[in-house]
């Protein structure tokens, strides 16, 4: 079990040049659960995740984890959260191994490769390959690997399946299921129906307001709700 209690996001606010992007965004997630955030392009999904990852500052609100407001203790965030941004946070000239060693000490990387997340993601198969020679799927798996190599309690994923082939999607889905089983909390922004199947709770972000949505597998209905 990675975490004993859940996390709570309460009243997150954010505005760009006076225009509100997030208005009192609130949700909760328990250990072993996955929360999906759906919204049209530019709706503020990435902004919400980047605020929770400590990359951007919120105008207000709390992000509670084990009775600590992470937004007020940003030094705690790297210990608790793994963040996978939309692009690939990798150095193109370096190998997978070099990129992993940048994120964590070598012993932890080796351990994870032998029996941990990196093995599940299949990163051990292309350790010596420079990033610039990797496929999109390999890069995405390595990006996730870089985020989870230090065993975070909460994983924030920004559109993890965008532009990936079905095999790679399945590979990532299997890993996320395993991560959940171990008690990790996943929060992902997505447009992908397959990703949503993995989610225990679904939220729609529209006009800056985050509201719960009961996803029943009907993607057309979801698209209509977003319009």
Interface positions with other proteins (CB under 8 A) = 46-47, 50, 53-56, 75, 77-79, 81, 83-94, 98-99, 101-105, 132, 143, 146-147, 150
Q: Are 167 and 140 in contact (CB under 8 A)?
A: no
Compute the residue count for the chain. 227
Bridge pairing between strands 68-69 and 60-65: antiparallel
Of the pair 74, 166, the CB lying nearest other proteins is at 74
Residue 224: CB minimum distance to other proteins, A: 26
- For residue 91, the minimal CB distance to other proteins (Å) is 6
Per DSSP, the residues of 199-210 read -SEEEEEETTEE
CB atoms within 10 A of CB 86: 16
- What is the closest distance, in whole angstroms, from the C-beta atom of residue 98 to other proteins in the complex? 6
Beta bridge partners, 155, equal 82, 186
As measured in angstroms, the least distance from the Cβ of 102 to other proteins is 4
DSSP code, position 130 = B
> Of 54 and 122, which CB lies nearer to other proteins in the complex structure?
54
Least distance between other proteins and beta carbon 105 (Å): 8
- Name which of 44 and 213 has its Cβ closer to other proteins: 44
Task: State which residue, 20 or 85, has the beta carbon closest to other proteins.
Answer: 85
Q: Provide the minimum distance between the beta carbon of 217 and other proteins in the complex, in angstroms, as a whole number.
A: 31
Give the burial string for 104-137 (b: 16+ CB within 10 Å, else e). beeebbeebbeebbbbbbbbeebbeeebeebeeb
Distance CA 65, CA 6 (A): 7
Whose Cβ is closer to other proteins: residue 46's or residue 171's?
Answer: 46
Q: Which is nearer to other proteins, 77 or 196 (CB)?
A: 77
Q: Measured between alpha carbons, how far is 202 from 221 in angstroms, rounded to an integer?
A: 13
């Amino acid at each position: 079990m990675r975490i004993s209690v859940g996390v709570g996001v309460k009243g997150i606010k954010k505005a760009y040049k006076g225009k509100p992007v997030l208005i009192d965004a609130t949700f909760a997630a328990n250990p072993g659960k996955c929360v999906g955030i759906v919204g049209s392009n530019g709706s503020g999904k990435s902004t919400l995740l980047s605020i929770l990852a400590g990359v951007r500052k919120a105008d207000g609100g709390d992000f509670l984890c084990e009775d600590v407001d992470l937004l007020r203790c940003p030094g705690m965030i790297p210990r608790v959260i793994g963040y996978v941004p939309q692009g690939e946070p990798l150095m193109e000239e370096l190998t997978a191994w070099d990129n992993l060693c940048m994120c964590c000490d070598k012993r932890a990387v080796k351990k994870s490769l032998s029996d941990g997340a990196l093995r599940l993601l299949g990163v051990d198969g292309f350790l010596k390959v420079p990033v610039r020679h990797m496929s999109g799927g390999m890069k995405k798996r390595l990006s996730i690997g870089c985020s989870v190599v230090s065993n975070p309690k909460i994983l924030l994923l920004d559109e993890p399946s965008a532009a990936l082939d079905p095999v790679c999607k399945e590979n990532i889905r299997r890993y996320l299921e395993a991560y959940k089983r171990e008690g990790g909390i996943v929060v992902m922004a997505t447009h992908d129906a397959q990703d949503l199947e993995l989610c225990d709770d679904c939220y729609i972000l529209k006009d800056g307001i985050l509201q719960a949505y009961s996803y029943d597998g009907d993607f057309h209905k979801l698209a209509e709700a977003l319009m």
